[in-house]
Structure formats: C-alpha cells, structure tokens
Amino acid sequence: MNTPKTYRILISGGGTGGHIYPAIAIANAWKEKHPASEILFVGALGKMEMQKVPEAGYPIKGLPVAGLQRSLTLDNLSFPIKLLKSLRIASRIVKDFRPDAVVGVGGYASGPVLYAAQKKGVPTLVQEQNSYAGLTNKLLAKRANAICVAYPDMEKFFPADKIRVTGNPVRKDILDLSGKKGKAIALFGLAAERKTILVLGGSLGARTLNQAVLQDMKNLELEGFQLLWQCGKFYFKEMLAKLEESGLKHIHLREFIREMDLAYAAADVIVSRAGALSVSELSLVGKPVIFIPSPNVAEDHQTKNAMAYVEHGAALLLRDSEAIGRLKTKVDGLLQTPEYVKTLGENIKKLAKPDAANAIVVEIEKLVK
C-alpha cells in the first residue's frame, strides 16, 4: 500500500480579500488532493490575512513588510528597514520549513518570501489575479517557474513560456447556488416579494458606491426594490447613522458579508467594484452585474478587468465619476428588460473558470515532481 507523500507547500501574500481568498482556495484544493501535506502561509503583520487564514484552518507567520505610500510620508522612511527585516525573516522561514514549492499570490509578503525561495533554488509559482500585473509579481516572474493568470494577453508582463491561463481560484461554496435563495432571504431579513440589489464595495469599502447608494436608496425602496449593502469596515458607522436617520425599512446594511454564497443567491442584480476576485466570482454566479471600477488602483486595472467582460456583452460598466446620481437609472434600465438580464447572466457565465484552483494545483504538482 502506497503511503501518501507529505509535501510542504508555502503560500505567501495577502493584504486584501482579493489575494487572501484565492490563496486559501489553492490551499484547500491542494489539501483535497494531498491530505498528508503541510501548508504554511506567510502574510504581512497587521493585515487581514493574519485573521482570515487561521479562520480557514491554516497556520500563518507574519512579516513586518509594508508598501511604499504614493505620497511623501514618514512611513516611507521606515520602508527599507521593514523590507530588510522581512527578507531576513522570510529567508529563515524558507530554511526552517523546507518547502517543496512556494506560491505567491501578490501583496506585500509575497515579495520577500518568493525572493528568499528563489535564492535557495526552491520552485516558485506566481498567481496573478488581475489583467494588469502588479510590480511585485512582475519582478518575481523573472525567476519563477510558472505564472498562473486569469486573463489573456499577459505576455506584455511575463515570459510567454511560463504563463498558464488557469483563471482565479474562488470559494467553493459559490459554485452551486441552487436552492439557497430561501435561506438567504431568512438570514438577511429580506422581503421575498421584492427584487434585491446586492451592492459590494470590497471588504474595506468604497466611498463612491456608498455615496451612490445614499443618493438613490429612498427612490429605490419606493419603487419596490430592496438593497443588501456591504459598505465596508471604514464606512460602517457613518452609513449606519445615515440609514437610521432615513427611516427606510428595506435597506439592509452590513459592514462585511461572510455568507457570500447566500448574498449572491438572494441577488437579482449585483453592483460591484471590479477587483479580480469579485470579477471571477461574479462570472460563476451568472447574474447581471453593473461594475463600478475603482479609479484609485495601479494603471486603472479594475477598469481593464471590467472591460474584459463588458466587451463580451457579459456585464455593464458605470464609471466611478458618474456613479453618484446615476445608479438608480442604471438599475432601472437593466431590470426593465428581462431578456437583457437573462443574456447578461448567460454571457458572464460563459467566461467563468470554475476549476481554477485545481488547475493551479496541477501546475504546483509539476514543480514538486
């Protein structure tokens, strides 16, 4: 009888849900196939991965690394010190853990860890979620063994012979939403007879989306809609105070929604930022989406993410600069045309890659074998 091989896999990165959840999905897919393996995460101290990864059942070590601020701040003076310290700690982690392969998903921690692994000759894989590659991943890709991407035409950032188009890994519970709507209505306290607009600004929140909701929520409720609104951690107290002043009964505010499968199941239309993870998840959900890309990201990559879907007739785009005052008009125009709603849902699902996590596992297997 063959004993399952014990692999050691090191996964690094984080900072936002867009990096953390794909990393956890990769770890889960690897564990399913190789249950005897040891998996260790490395994140940035103070960032959300230090909480989310242990909640998912995996150990994590933290680095003091932080990013450079775009404006001149005192924090930038400590950047070299934190980076050097992180490189030393990362080198020690790689030496002690002795990984068979190291996976970097982007975010501050992935730089020092993959750099340390590559210096020691450990096979490395970079997972780039966006249509525009981040600086850290571009630098690491030069010595990486494989680069898994979600979008075509990534040769402008990475060596073509290393690129594998796998898609972005997503949480397993959203792969099948059938039969979940009743549970969702009960959980969120929704009215079964009203159409539900799900608004997602990311885990930290998005000011423009929140202001757009504030502007139009009264008229949306009067027209018979209800909102399930994730406003984000930075804005929750402010939005809650304004909602309480309004006296509206069908605007359901949440700081953060953990039960995303149920939120998607409840939705008739989804309004969302266009981060890589959101876009990948929404393609699997197969519902009509209005993307409002954040303009405050490198090279406007969220607009590029959204346009990859808009150009296939798979989503609608509302510019951040136009969102306040136009959200209701966009929602009205969409929901008044049921055929268009159906077409958008069908087209976005055609672009889904539901097996992305397993495809990445196959690439890691090639490295360790």
> Collapsing DSSP states into helix, strand and coil, what is residue 174?
helix
Q: Residues 196, 190: contact at Cβ < 8 Å?
A: yes
156 and 253 part of one domain: no
Residue 280 assigned to a binding site = yes
164 and 177 part of one domain: no
Residue 317 located in a structural domain: yes
Taking the chain (369 residues) in runs of 10, the rounded mean pLDDT of each run is: 79 86 95 96 94 96 76 65 92 98 93 96 96 87 96 93 95 89 97 97 83 96 96 93 96 94 97 92 96 89 92 96 95 92 96 95 96
Q: What is the pLDDT of residue 341?
A: 95
Instruction: Using the structure block, give the residue that is written with the tokens 């014990």.
Output: 6
Laid out side by side, the sheet with 146-149 consists of 60-63, 38-44, 8-12, 101-104, 124-128, 146-149, 163-165
111 and 18 part of one domain: yes
Q: What is the pLDDT of residue 76?
A: 63
246 and 331 part of one domain: yes
What contacts 366, CB < 8 A, 6 or more positions away? Answer: 146
Residue 302 assigned to a binding site = yes
* Segments in 190-300 forming alpha helices (H): 207-222, 236-246, 260-266, 276-285
Residue 277 assigned to a binding site = yes
236 and 282 part of one domain: yes
Enumerate helices (H) and strands (E) in the chain, giving the number of each: 15, 13
218 and 272 part of one domain: yes
342 and 288 part of one domain: yes
CATH number of the domain bearing residue 299: 3.40.50.2000
Residue 18 assigned to a binding site = yes
Q: What is the pLDDT of residue 297?
A: 84
Residue 135 located in a structural domain: yes
Helical axes 236-246 vs 207-222, angle rounded to 10°: 20
222 and 332 part of one domain: yes
Give CA–CA dist 72/228, Å, rounded: 38
Cα 318 from chain centroid?
Answer: 20
306: closest CA among 321, 325, 324, 290? 290
Q: What is the pLDDT of residue 191?
A: 98
Residue 2 assigned to a binding site = no
Residue 1 located in a structural domain: no
Q: What is the pLDDT of residue 92?
A: 98
Residue 203 assigned to a binding site = yes
Cα 185 from chain centroid?
Answer: 24
Residue 194 assigned to a binding site = no
Give CA–CA dist 18/219, Å, rounded: 32
35 and 100 part of one domain: yes
Q: Structural domain of residue 48, as residue ranges?
A: 8-168+354-368
Q: Based on the structure, what is the number of domains in the chain?
A: 2
Residue 346 assigned to a binding site = no
105 and 44 part of one domain: yes
Q: What is the pTM of this model?
A: 0.86
Q: Residues 362, 296: contact at Cβ < 8 Å?
A: no
Residue 263 assigned to a binding site = no
Q: Residues 12, 43: contact at Cβ < 8 Å?
A: yes
Sign of the torsion formed by the C-alpha atoms of 190, 288, 28 and 87? negative
> Collapsing DSSP states into helix, strand and coil, what is residue 83?
helix
- Whats the size of the chain, residue-wise? 369
What contacts 342, CB < 8 A, 6 or more positions away? Answer: none
209 and 287 part of one domain: yes
249 and 161 part of one domain: no
Q: Residue 300: which region, alpha, beta or left (left: phi > 0; alpha: psi -120 to 50)?
A: left
Q: What is the pLDDT of residue 95?
A: 98
